[in-house]
A and B are shown apart, each in its own frame.
Chain A
Amino acid sequence: EVQLVQSGAEVKKPGESLKISCKGSGYSFTNFWIGWVRQMPGKGLEWMGIIYPSDSDTRYSPSFQGQVSISVDKSISTAYLQWTSLKASDIGMYYCTRGRDQVEFDYWGQGTLITVSS
């Protein structure tokens, strides 16, 4: 069974750093893209970026380029989404997804809720 299991909810202060994770199982981790999608409270889905675990080929949305970093450790089938300095506007639910291509996301993680408040 394909599963993407994300790390738990986080409560952070503005300016703090954060790295959340997404562990894939039940499939060949290196043969599919891993995407990250943001959903702010009460809002729609936003495509943030993707990484191909086999060669770490990474693409970012212009809206998120320079704001976050996507990485992967294929030895443990885990992808990461990282911030160096969180802002209040980073609040939301963050989903990792498995991609057959850069947009065809066929499996989704349960989401990681990030709260940023002073």
Chain B
Amino acid sequence: QSVLTQPPSVSAAPGQKVTISCSGGISNIGNNHVHWFQQLPGTAPKLLIRDTSKRPSGIPDRFSGSKSGTSATLVITGLRTGDEADYYCAAWDNSLSSGVFGGGTKLTVL
């Protein structure tokens, strides 16, 4: 059972928009930045969104992040088949004094 809760899977058609939620609590998302990672099949994860809403260099603006209270959201627009991957949120947890990941969300582009 992950400290951060994500839907196990989401799906949408090419060109459409998808949102992936990440629900936590006061000790993690509520008081700390959220980071998002993309893991393509068979590869190491990659940083997709840092500090809740910032895109690292090279990440297209189709990917965006936001936060409200104790929940964070990753939005992907203009979906491509190459976006099929597992997506993870992560944050520092002040109560655990540890980082925590969400359980991951598998994106299928139909």
Q: Which residues does A use to contact B, with CB under 8 Å?
A: 35, 37, 44-47, 50, 59-62, 95, 100-106, 108-111
Contact = CB atoms under 8 A, between A and B. Distances in A.
18 contacts: A44-B2, A44-B101, A45-B37, A45-B39, A45-B45, A45-B88, A46-B101, A47-B98, A47-B101, A59-B98, A61-B98, A100-B50, A103-B90, A103-B99, A104-B51, A105-B45, A106-B50, A108-B46
B45 A108 contact: yes
B68 interface: no
A104 B98 contact: no
A37 B45 CA distance: 10
Given A44-B88, A61-B98, A103-B91, A95 B44 contact: yes
A35 B90 CA distance: 13
B65 interface: no
Contact of A102 (B2, B86, B99): B99
Residue with the highest number of chain A CB atoms closer than 10 Å, among B2, B44, B100: B44
B24 interface: no
A43 to B, nearest CB: 8
A44 B53 CA distance: 22
Interface in B72-110: 86, 88, 90-92, 96-104
A52 to B, nearest CB: 14
Contacts of B32: 103
B47 A105 contact: yes
B7 interface: no
A108 B44 contact: yes
A10 B103 CA distance: 26
B50 A104 contact: yes
